[in-house]
Chains A and B, each alone.
Chain A
Amino acid sequence: MADHGRRRFLTYLVAAPTLALATQVGADAVAPATAEAVIPTLPAPADLVDLGDLLILAGAPTAGMLVLTIGEDGLVTFRLPREEVGQGLTTAVAMLVAEELDLGLDRVRVELDDARPELLFNQMTGSSNSIRSLYGPVRHTAAAARARLLSAAAQRWGVSAKDLRTRDGAVLASDGRSASYGSLSSEAAAPDLQALTATPKPESAHTLVGTATSRIDARAMVTGRQQYTLDLDIPGAKPCMVRRPPSVNGTVESVNNEAAVRAMPGVLDVVEIPTGVAVVAETFGQALDAKNALDVTWGPGTVDAFSDDGIRARLKSATAPFVVPPLLTRHLDAEFDFAFVSHAPMETNSAVADVRPDRATIWSGLKTPIVARESIAAALGLPLSKVTVHVMQAGGSFGRRLFFDAALEAAQVSKASGRPVRLMWSRIDDMRHGRMRPATHHRIRATYAGDEVLSFEHRVAAVETDFRHGLGEMITSVAASLPPGIGNAGLAQTLFLTTVKSPYHFGLTTQLLTEVPLKMHTGSWRSVYSANTRGAEEIFVDELARSLGKDEVEFRRTFAKSDRARAVLDKVAEEGQWGRSMPEGRAQGIGLHEEYKSCTACLVEIDCGDRGHPRVTKAVIAADVGRPINPRGIEAQLLGGLTDAISTTLRAGLHIDRGLPLEGSYSQFHYARQKDSPPEVKIFVMPADGEPGGAGELGVPAAVGAIANAFARATGTSPRSFPIHFDVDFTPFPR
C-alpha cells in the first residue's frame, strides 16, 4: 500500500545464525561454577539447551528471509515477522537496523509482516525469543543493504567501495562527495551489482544499540493515533459481538428469540458459529444489547463438574512423589498452590474479517499468524493462497495472542453474514471464555546437613497448558493436537524442561511436571511455568535459609551457580540497602531468577500495616540480559513483570465455579492499579557482556518470590496459597 510508486530494493539474505552459543553455554554450565563449599548440582536440561535455543534452531533455515526496503525518499522499512504487543520489539529492531546502516532512528520504519507460511517456524512471537532469534539475522540483513549502497556509490563514482564510508543516511567519499541512500536505492538494487561481502559492525562500534531509547511509536500512542485492530477503517465492516455459553465450551442447542433480536435497533444479522451466537449491528453498543437479549438454549460445557476445590484435589493427587526419604538428614517440606490467572490484556480479543466467495482478508493481533492463516483457510474452504492475514499491533498479550480464536470467529461470521465484520469480545467474555494461566500445585523438599543442602526436589502438578498453537505453523500445531498423552503433553514436558531450572547448587536437584488434562481454555502466561515454579522455589529458599540460620541474601550468594547471579544479587542488596531496619509490619524480601541466558534479582519492601491491603512500597531490580539492545525497553519489561507479580501474588486470580471463571472484569479480577504500585522503583540493567538473552518474561518469577518473602517476613506467616488475598469480594455477573 505505502509502497506504491516508490522504487526500492529488497534484500533476501541467507544468513547463518550460529548455534555455537548453545554448545558454549552448555560447556560452561557443566562446570560447577564456584562453590567449593557447596555440593554441585548437575546441569538441568535448560542449563544446556533452553527453549529459545530450540526455537532459534527451528527458525534457522528461514532466518535469512527477512525483507528490508530502502525507498527513494531514504526511508528504510523493515518487515518484522513477529508481533508487537507492547514489549518494545519494533523499537529494538529499528535500533539494530539504524545502527547497522548508520542512519537516524527516525528514518527507520518497522512494519509487522503478514502471515508468511514459507517462514515455517520463524514467525512465532513468544518465549522471550524475538531479540535472541533476530539479533544476528537483522544485523546481517541491514549490513548486506549497507554493502550494496557502498558498492552502488563506488560504481557511480568509479572508486573503490573500500574507500567509502556511511554516515547519517548517506555514503561519503574521502574527496567530500556524498550520496544519500535514497538517491542510491535503485542503483543498489541492480541485479548485476557486485557487492562487498556484508559483515555486521563489531559490537564495540555500536553507538545506538545499547543506549536507552524511547519507543518509536510513543508519539502515536500519546496522541491516540496508534491503530489497533478495531481502529481500522475497513469499508463496510460492521461491529460484531458473540453471545457465549454459561460454561466453558458449552454449545448452542437453539436460539429461541432470533426474530425479536433481529428486530432490535441497529441489528443487521444474527449468525450461529461453533463458539456461540454472533450479532452484527451498526454499533458495538447495539451489538452488545442484542447479544445480551438473545435467549439461547445451551448444551453442557466440558468442565461443568469442576470448581476450584475439585481441581485442587485433582492436582494434589496427581503430584509425583519425592524420591529422597527424609530419614537420615534434616529436611524441609512445603506445598504451594497458585490459582488460575487471566491474561486480561487491555485490548480484548478482536479481529476484522472480510470474507468473499473466492478470497478472505483478516486483520488481528497475532503471535502465530501462519497457523492462523492455515486454520482460517481450512475453516473457510479456501486455498491458502486466497487468504491474507495482516498482523496488527496489539494492546497487550502476555501470551494471550498465541491463540487466534477471534480471527477465526470473525472469518466464520463474515462468511455466514456475507459482509465484512469487526468482531470484539466483551470484557466479561474475555475473562471468562478467554485463556488462563493454569492452576498449579507444588511440593518441594530439601534435605540438608550442617551447612550443606544435599538435595532439592520440586514436584509440580498443573492443569494442562494448551500449546496447540504449536510453533506457530500447522505441522507442530497438529502434532500438539494429538490425543492427550501423546501430543500436547509431550510438548508441555519439553517446554517445562527447557525453561525451568534452578539457579542454585543444591546437590541432587530434580524438577518434575505432571499435567492434569482438563478441557479448559489455558495457555502460556508470561514466564509460563516459571512464575509459579520458580516463584515457589524462591519462597522455599528463604525458608531453607532461615532453617539453616542464614541471611536470605547471603544464602543465595553462597549457593548460586553463577557469578552473574551473584552480581545481580549484590546490586539489589546494595542499592536496596538489604537488611536495613524496618518498622513493625514492614519488611524487605528478595528473589532471584535465571532463564533464557539472563538473570535477575528483585528486592522489594512491603507495608502490611493494613493486613487486608498489603502494599509493595519500593522495588529494586537488577537484570543481566547478556547484551541489552534497548535498556529503557528492558526496564519497561521488568517494571511490567514486577506489576504482574504484585498482582498475582497478592490479589489477582480467577475462581472456577462449575465450569466458568466467576471473575468478569477488572473490578473482580484484581490486577494492580496505581494504588497497589510502588511509588519508588529502581531498575538496573547490567553492562553488556555476551549475546542477548531473553528479557520479556524474566521479571516475573524473581518478583513473585521477593513479594511473597517480604510479606512472610512482615507478617510472620508462611504464605502457601496465591494470590494471598483471594476472597470472592464481588457479585458475579450473570452467566
Chain B
Amino acid sequence: MPSHTFTVNGETVTVEAPDDLPLLWVLRDLLGIRGPKYGCGIDVCKACTSHLDGEAVRPCVVPVSTVAGRQVTTIEGLADGDDLHPVQEAWLEQDVAQCGYCQPGQIMAAVALLKRTKNPTDADIDAIANVCRCGTYFRIREAIKSAAAKMR
C-alpha cells in the first residue's frame, strides 16, 4: 500500500492508502478528522470544502497521492486555539447555521474568497456554489460582508 506524507492543520501525517483514494476519506476514515462533510462525492455540493496550500478545494475529488508534501487545512484548523477566525465570528454574529452540516464548507469557501478579494461584491458571493439545503444563503451573504468589513 503506498504511503503519503503531508500536513494537516499544521501537523505532519503519513497514511497508507491507495493513490486514488479521495482525500475526504483519508481525512475522515483514516485520520478521524470529521469537520469536512460528505454530501455528493463529485464536487457538486461542496460541503467538504477545505484548503490545499491556502486555496479552496473539494477533498472528495482530490486523490490523496496529489497532496504529498502539501498543506491541508480543514475547518478544525481555521481557528487559532480558542480564537476564532473573523469569518467564524461573523457566522456566530449572524447566527448563520441551521442544521450546520454544510457550514464548515461554506466557511472555508468564504475564507478563500476573502483571501482573493478584500471587498467581495454580491457577484463574488454569488459565485460560491456551496449548497445549503436549509437555505441560509442570505445570512451567509451578510456574514461574508460583515467579516470583510472587520478584516479590512
Binding site for B on A (CB under 8 A): 85-88, 214-215, 217-228, 230-231, 233, 239, 265-266, 282-286, 288, 344-348, 394-398, 424, 426-427, 632, 636, 639-644, 646-647, 665-667, 671-675, 677-679, 681
Pick 8 A–B contacts, CB within 8 A, sort by A: A86-B101, A219-B92, A221-B103, A282-B29, A348-B38, A396-B134, A643-B137, A666-B39
Q: How far is the CB of A328 from chain B (nearest CB, A)?
A: 46
Are B29's CB and A427's CB within 8 A?
Answer: no
The one of B25, B36, B47 that contacts A346, using a Cβ cutoff of 8 Å: B47
Q: Decide if B95 touches A347 in the complex (CB within 8 Å).
A: no
Q: Contacts of B137 on A, CB cut-off 8 Å?
A: 643, 672-674, 677
A344 and B47 alpha carbons, distance in the complex (Å): 13
In the complex formed, the residue of A with least CB distance to B123 is A675
- In the complex, chain B residues 1-32 whose Cβ is within 8 Å of any chain A Cβ: 1, 17-18, 21-22, 24-26, 28-30, 32
**In the bound complex, do residue A222 and residue B97 qualify as a contact, i.e. CB atoms below 8 Å apart?**
yes
Taking A86-B97, A639-B135, A640-B98 as known contacts, 11 extra A-B pairs with beta carbons closer than 8 A to each other, sorted by chain A number, are A86-B99, A222-B91, A346-B102, A394-B99, A395-B102, A396-B133, A426-B41, A427-B40, A665-B45, A673-B131, A677-B137
Q: Which of B102-152 contact A (CB under 8 A)?
A: 102-104, 107, 122, 125-141
Q: How far is the CB of A367 from chain B (nearest CB, A)?
A: 13
| B54 contacts the other chain (CB 8 A) | no
The minimal Cβ–Cβ distance linking B148 to chain A, given in whole angstroms, is: 15
Q: Given A215, A228, A265, A346, which contacts B131 in the complex, CB threshold below 8 Å?
A: A346
A26–chain B nearest beta-carbon distance, Å: 34
In the complex, the answer to whether B38 meets A345 with C-beta atoms within 8 Å is no
A86-B99, A285-B21, A674-B125 known; A665 and B29 CB under 8 Å? no
Which residues of A lie under 8 Å from residue B132 when comparing CB positions? Answer: 346, 643
10 shortest interchain CB distances as A-B pairs: A643-B135, A224-B35, A86-B99, A395-B101, A221-B100, A677-B137, A224-B75, A285-B25, A86-B98, A283-B29
Chain B min CB distance to A76 (Å)? 22
Q: A665 near B76 (CB under 8 angstroms)?
A: no
How near does chain B come to A668, taking the closest CB pair, in angstroms?
Answer: 9
Could you tell me the distance between the alpha carbons of A426 and B38 in the complex, rounded to whole angstroms? 9
Q: Which residues of A contact B32 (CB under 8 A)?
A: 233
Q: How far is the CA of A636 from the CA of B18 in the complex (A)?
A: 43
Closest residue of chain B to A636, judged by CB?
B98
User: Known contacts A221-B100, A666-B131; is A214 also within 8 Å of B95 by CB?
Assistant: yes
In contact, A218 and B41 (Cβ under 8 angstroms)? no
CB-defined contacts of B130 to chain A, threshold 8 Å: 673-674
Residues in B whose Cβ lies below 8 Å from that of A641: 135
Do B76 and A666 touch across chains, with their CB atoms under 8 A apart? no
Does A639 contact B139, Cβ atoms closer than 8 Å? yes
Contacts of B39 in A (CB 8 A): 346-348, 427, 666
Most A CB within 10 A of own CB, among B24, B95, B96, B122? B95
B21 to chain A, nearest CB (A): 5
B79 CB-CB contact with A under 8 Å: yes
Contact partner of A673 (CB less than 8 A), chosen from B28, B37, B92, B129, is: B129
Would you call B45 and A666 a contact (CB within 8 A)? yes
A678 to B137, CA, bound (A): 8
Q: Are B126 and A675 in contact (CB under 8 A)?
A: yes
Q: Looking at B45, B79, B134, which has the most chain A CB atoms within 10 Å of its CB?
A: B134
Taking the closest CB of chain B, its distance from the CB of A55, in whole angstroms, is 23
Which residue of A has the minimal Cβ distance to B25? A285
Q: Could you tell me the distance between the alpha carbons of A225 and B39 in the complex, rounded to whole angstroms?
A: 17
Contact of B44 among A218, A228, A394, A667 (CB under 8 A): A667
Bound: A224/B88 CA distance, A? 11
Whether B68 is near chain A, meaning CB under 8 Å from some CB there, is: no
Q: Is the CB of B102 within 8 A of A223?
A: no
Closest chain A CB from B87 CB (angstroms): 8
CB distance from B142 to the nearest CB of A (A): 9
Within the complex, the shortest CB–CB distance from B58 to chain A, in Å, comes to 13
Cβ–Cβ < 8 Å partners of A223 in chain B: 35, 75-76, 78-79, 84, 88
Complex-state Cα separation, A283 to B132, whole angstroms: 26
- Please measure, in the bound complex, the distance between the C-alpha atom of A665 and the C-alpha atom of B46, giving whole angstroms: 12
A87→B92 contact, CB < 8 A = no
A233: B residues at CB distance < 8 A? 32
- List, in ascending order, chain B residues with CB within 8 A of A647's CB: 135
Q: Is the CB of B92 within 8 A of A640?
A: no
CA distance A727 to B97 in the complex (A): 32
Contact partner of A283 (CB less than 8 A), chosen from B30, B100, B138, is B30
Whether B95 contacts A395 by the Cβ 8 Å rule is no
Residues in chain B near residue A666, CB distance under 8 A:
39-40, 44-45, 131
Partner of B138, one of A239, A644, A681: A681
Contact indicator A427/B88 (Cβ below 8 Å):
no
Given A224-B75, A265-B18, A665-B40, also A346-B133 (CB < 8 A): yes
> What is the bound-complex CA distance between A646 and B29, given in angstroms?
36
Q: Which B residues touch A639, using CB under 8 A?
A: 135-136, 138-139
Q: Report A-chain residues with C-beta under 8 Å of the C-beta of B26.
A: 283
Residue of B whose beta carbon sits closest to that of A422: B29
Judging by beta carbons under 8 Å apart, are B42 and A228 in contact?
no
Residues in A with CB closer than 8 Å to B140 are 674
A87 and B76 alpha carbons, distance in the complex (Å): 24
Contact of A222 among B29, B37, B42, B84 (CB under 8 A): B84
Given A224-B74, A346-B133, A667-B44, answer yes or no on A675-B127 (Cβ-Cβ < 8 Å).
yes
Residues in B with CB closer than 8 Å to A632 are 95
**Is A346 a contact partner of B29 (Cβ separation < 8 A)?**
no
